[in-house]
């Protein structure tokens, strides 16, 4: 799921960069890129993969 979110963030960052858009001072190409990298890192760590530790 995080990989899909990262792809969406990277797509939005690309569109913003090509169009030269910026929404306020918060939502920029840099913040979208960093959000995408965070999602990729979480995906590679296995967060949200559905695995759980069995407790006895």
Structural domain spans, the chain = 1-45
- pLDDT given at position 13: 93
- pLDDT given at position 6: 93
pLDDT tens profile 1-56:
888 999 999 999 999 999 988 888 888 999 999 999 999 998 888 887 776 666 66
> Which tokens sit at 36?
């995408």
- Whether the CB-CB separation of 10 and 33 falls below 8 Å is answered with yes
- pLDDT given at position 51: 63
Q: Which residues contact 7 (CB under 8 A, 6 or more apart)?
A: 36
Whole-number Å distance between alpha carbons of 51 and 41: 17
- Whether the CB-CB separation of 36 and 9 falls below 8 Å is answered with yes
- Whether the CB-CB separation of 5 and 45 falls below 8 Å is answered with no
Whole-number Å distance between alpha carbons of 50 and 43: 11
């Amino acid at each position: 799921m995080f990989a899909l979110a990262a792809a969406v963030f990277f797509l939005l960052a690309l569109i913003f960069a090509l169009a030269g858009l910026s929404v306020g001072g918060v939502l920029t190409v840099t913040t979208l890129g960093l959000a995408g990298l965070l999602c990729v890192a979480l995906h590679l760590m296995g967060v949200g993969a559905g695995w759980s530790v069995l407790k006895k």
